[in-house]
Amino acid sequence: MLIAFELSGEHDTIPASEAIACLESLHVDFKIHLKLDGCLVIELKDEAYRTAHALSKRLSMTHHLMIVLGIGGATEEDILDTVSRADIRLDGTYSVRVRRIKDCSKVDTGSMERRIGGIYYQRGACADLKNPEIAFRVLLTGDKSIFGYIVASVDRGAFEARKPHYKPFFYPGVLMPRVARALVNIAKPEEYLFDPFCGTAGILVEAGIIGIKAIGGDVQRKLLLGAKMNLDYYDIDYSLMYQDACRMALCDESVDAVVTDPPYGRSAAIKAESLDDLLTGSLSEIHRVLKKGKRAVFISERKIEDIAEKAGFRVIESHLQRVHKSLTRRISVLEKNG
């Protein structure tokens, strides 16, 4: 069975990476069928409905998960042909939505929705836009159209409710919850996730909400107190430590995932003598405490690939996130050599 992820458009590469990492974390038997702009289609051998619902509870940069009924061309006649040939019996109510991915199609979506709706109306089904029994969806991306129905959706409003300024303790310059959750998912934690520069615990909160035990450290006591307030507010299972990230109080190979956003010199106290020392020392310590074959997601303003490789990591992915004209985050996904 084919499942389509309708990816969010807030980043070019992170949404697909998050979806694939979540599938791997859930030990799902899958293979990539199509990787398109704004849409990832996988072939799934496991139970599709259960898997889709489990994914919807973890993902942040996906809108909907769809059971794919057909894949065709992107012209109006191609779309109607794909819909007409779809193998599905419909006795109840339905809705139809057509979405252009990044305006890559010139198809009139409203007209297309009416024409598709007419196909099922002629087959005896009734339209219900407010509470349909089945919600059909067409994604138009490049020269392809993906037709299917929604089986699960991500509650993106929950991430909005956890924006930093809504939390008990606020400090500027932190990651937004959707980004933090996506990076947690990309790190593929199993039991514990560690953030050695935890700040106000935005990353740890997102890890804890999906059932991961959160461990954090920081050299600023004020931020640790704020982190405690935020973690308690969301009832997270956590441990916090006052510590220097270049001299961590953790045993060798004791955590199975690391996600961290170091201060990299921005209006924050750095205990190391220089930013270079901080990057070198913290990456060395992260490598020490991380289990073999596991991932660390490290955010920086500068390239850290050479430092990471000298510490013993393999760089498996890199993502760029432009925050504003003077700040672009470099997100490096690292793996400790087994």
Structure tokens at 171: 């400090």
Measured at the CA of 186, the angle between CA 299 and CA 304, to 5 degrees, comes to 30
Other residues' Cβ atoms within 10 Å of the Cβ of residue 270: 16
User: What pLDDT does residue 268 have?
Assistant: 46
Structure tokens at 35: 């990787």
Of 49, 153, 56, give the one whose Cα is nearest residue 97: 153
12-16, 218-222, 325-329: segment of lowest average pLDDT? 325-329
Q: What's the farthest any 2 CA atoms get from each other in the chain?
A: 74
Cα-Cα end-to-end distance for the chain: 34
Mean pLDDT of the chain: 93
Structure tokens at 288: 């020490």
Residue matched to tokens 């070198």: 280
Name the CATH superfamily for 160-336: Vaccinia Virus protein VP39 (3.40.50.150)
Q: Which residues contact 68 (CB under 8 A, 6 or more apart)?
A: 1, 2, 3, 4, 41, 146, 147, 148
User: What pLDDT does residue 235 have?
Assistant: 98
For residues 96 and 145, what is the distance between their CA atoms, to the nearest angstrom? Answer: 14
CATH C-level class of 2-154: alpha beta
> What is the average pLDDT across 279-283?
95
Of 294, 267, 142, 135, give the one whose Cα is nearest residue 212: 294
DSSP-assigned letter for residue 173:
S
Q: What angle do helix axes 221-233 and 202-209 make, rounded to 10 degrees?
A: 30
- In the chain, what are the domain boundaries? 2-154, 160-336
More confident position, 205 or 49: 205
Is a pLDDT exceeding 90 seen at residue 316? yes
For residues 252 and 234, what is the distance between their CA atoms, to the nearest angstrom? Answer: 29
Host H or E run for residue 289: helix 275-289
Q: How does pLDDT run across 171-196, given as a tens digit for each residue?
A: 988 999 999 999 999 999 999 999 99
Q: How does pLDDT run across 198-228, given as a tens digit for each residue?
A: 999 999 999 999 999 999 999 999 999 999 9
